[in-house]
Amino acid sequence: MSTTHKQINFLRGWPSPGLLPTHLLSSACQRVLANQDEYTEMQEYGSCHGLTRLRKGLANWIGPHYGVTPDPERICITGGASQNLVCILQCFSDVNYTRAVWVVAPCYHLGCGIFEDSGFAGRLHAVPEDDEGIDLPIFDRKLQEFEKQDKEKRDQKVMHPADIVYNEYRKLYRHLIYTVPTCSNPSGLTMSLGRREGLVKLARKYDALIISDDVYDLLQWPLAAPVTQDRQAELRLPRLCDIDLSMGLSDDDPHGFGHAVSNASFSKLSGPSVRTGWAEASPVFISGLARTASTRSGGAPSQLCAAMLAEVVENGQLQRFVDETVRPTLQRRHRLMMDAIHTYLLPLGARTRVSSLNGYEIFGGYFVWLELGSESSTKFIADVLKTEENIIVGHGNLFVVHGDERSAIFDNSIRLSFSWEAEQDIEDGIRRIGQLISRMNRNREHYLQLASTSNMS
């Protein structure tokens, strides 16, 4: 069946044009480039730690948000969360020493490839989550079983010289853990405080580094109340790196590298094109990360964009834009989608999470994770939606962990983004999804036959 419907893309996790502070960045760029002494410095290579102004500005913004003392020495500027993930792997892992990568599932679908490109293909393992986040008892059992099976391999020679395994700027970790603990992509779930503390303790027990994708922390809102600058405690849960630092040195980490790093980005705050982010961890870890060879060769990532961002962070313009424009807009878009889901999909057997944090009336991020309750796989439904309704969604098994697909399967789920499409198209798109599911229910034999004779299933 061909379609002339307008395309609606619920897969695209991009900020809509109204969520971009273009006018702020334009003015900031003009100010930065107006002074020759300043722009000459900005257009040179720069410190490996990144622009000091932005590091200080971030420390003064982020520190009070999380209730920690602002400390620029815990921060380095990066080229964005994806680029910095590569730098973290280059500095703190080794394919012959680091035994496994543990990924909370469902997972960010483009993250697995970064680990695979870094030599960890076939060594990614899925860890399930429940309503509070990562399932710690299951994870602990998986780690114990892995350690027993891996015992005979522990004496393999590492690729790097022996003094790089643990020196002033480097510590190789035996395990890596990748998670999006706040408003997870794709599930929308926020990990509870208890699970965060338990995860850090496990990381210390098994010599693991938690790489925490913290790109949605500042993009949360109450479900019913108006968005304000003041945020209740449940919107400011401590990051894993802060919990780790509060526990002091672990027995196997006398230099104080720690067991968690926050990998954050401006992509959802000021637009993906700035290609700028920041990492926050212990000062020792940050010093090592800043000395990534590619950074030492090329200088601070995103130097000019960092100067623009420093302008709008120092004067508070970006913070106000996030609180007065981005968060209320996302709150409204999320409400539009949820109202449409309740109207058109829940009566058909679909289920979804109302709150991102169990027990609290809050949400955040870009995505709704929906269980359709259909006898057809959501891969098939996604293909039919594209063909018959011109609607693009992320089917559940797009978000499995590469190489460990059978450990966590999501045949019945889809991810819907409410950040990109025009607001008037959100309800229309959900309505059309409901129409297709109703059509499939009425014409069950036709679609079963289609699934069996096509490459859609």
| DSSP assignment of 234-293 | GGSPPPHHHHHHHT---TT-TT---SEEEEEESHHHH-GGG--EEEES-HHHHHHHHT-H
Average pLDDT, the chain: 93
**At residue 457, does pLDDT exceed 80?**
no
Q: What is the pLDDT of residue 155?
A: 54
For residue range 12-33, what is the model confidence (pLDDT) as tens digits? 999 999 999 999 999 999 999 9
Domain boundary at 303, 318, 333, which? 318
CA distances from 333 to 27, 340, 397 (A): 28, 11, 25
**At residue 2, does pLDDT exceed 60?**
no
Q: What is the pLDDT of residue 163?
A: 46
Coil, strand or helix at 394: strand
Closest CA to 177 of 261, 269, 121: 261
Together in a domain, 276 and 174: yes
**At residue 321, does pLDDT exceed 60?**
yes
Give 271's contacts (C-beta < 8 A, 6+ positions apart).
15, 20, 21, 22, 25
Burial class (CB in 10 A: 0-12, 13-18, 19+), 162: exposed
For residue range 126-145, what is the model confidence (pLDDT) as tens digits? 999 999 999 999 999 999 99
Q: What is the pLDDT of residue 40?
A: 84
Together in a domain, 327 and 198: no
For residue range 191-226, what is the model confidence (pLDDT) as tens digits? 999 999 999 999 999 999 999 999 999 999 999 999
Domain boundary at 318, 346, 368, which? 318
3-state secondary structure 334-391: HHHHHHHHHHHCHHHCCEECCCCCCCCCEEECCEEEEECCCCCCHHHHHHHHHHHHCE
Interhelix angle 327-344/423-442, rounded to 10 degrees, is 20
- Is residue 1 included in any domain, yes or no? no
Alpha-carbon distance of 430 to 343, in angstroms, equals: 9
**At residue 402, does pLDDT exceed 70?**
yes
- Is residue 382 included in any domain, yes or no? yes
Over range 103-116, report the average pLDDT: 96
- Is residue 338 included in any domain, yes or no? yes
Q: What is the pLDDT of residue 162?
A: 44
**At residue 403, does pLDDT exceed 70?**
yes
Together in a domain, 390 and 252: no
- What dihedral angle (degrees, nearest 10) is formed by the CA atoms of 331, 336, 342, 345? -120
**At residue 399, does pLDDT exceed 60?**
yes
- Is residue 413 included in any domain, yes or no? yes
Alpha-carbon distance of 138 to 263, in angstroms, equals: 25
**At residue 346, does pLDDT exceed 50?**
yes
Together in a domain, 230 and 327: no
Alpha-carbon distance of 122 to 118, in angstroms, equals: 12
- Is residue 246 included in any domain, yes or no? yes
- Is residue 2 included in any domain, yes or no? no
Together in a domain, 63 and 140: yes
Together in a domain, 359 and 312: no
**At residue 161, does pLDDT exceed 50?**
no
Which structure tokens are listed for 61?
């913004």
124 φ/ψ angles, rounded to the nearest 5 degrees = -95, 135
Q: Which of 197-206, 278-287, 373-382 has the lowest mean pLDDT?
A: 373-382
Supply the range of the domain harboring residue 413. 8-19+323-453
Over range 379-394, report the average pLDDT: 96
Over range 75-90, report the average pLDDT: 96
Closest CA to 378 of 405, 402, 396, 398: 396
* CA 199 to centroid of chain Cα atoms: 17
Could you tell me the pTM of the whole model?
0.94
**At residue 152, does pLDDT exceed 90?**
no
Together in a domain, 261 and 199: yes
Together in a domain, 104 and 212: yes
State the DSSP H helix or E strand holding residue 88, giving kind and residue range, or none if neither.
helix 81-92
Together in a domain, 279 and 399: no
**At residue 51, does pLDDT exceed 80?**
yes
Together in a domain, 298 and 423: no
Coil, strand or helix at 395: strand
Closest CA to 428 of 390, 397, 455: 390
Which residue type occupies 427? E
- What dihedral angle (degrees, nearest 10) is formed by the CA atoms of 44, 293, 113, 138? -120
Domain boundary at 299, 318, 337, which? 318
**At residue 166, does pLDDT exceed 60?**
yes
**At residue 159, does pLDDT exceed 70?**
no
Alpha-carbon distance of 173 to 150, in angstroms, equals: 15
What CATH number is associated with residue 329?
Answer: 3.90.1150.10
What CATH number is associated with residue 292?
Answer: 3.40.640.10
Together in a domain, 388 and 407: yes
Q: Any idea what the Cα angle at residue 12 is, between residues 113 and 345, rounded to 5°?
A: 115
- Is residue 3 included in any domain, yes or no? no
Together in a domain, 125 and 268: yes
Alpha-carbon distance of 64 to 423, in angstroms, equals: 33
Number of structural domains in the chain: 2
- Is residue 260 included in any domain, yes or no? yes
Over range 414-430, report the average pLDDT: 97
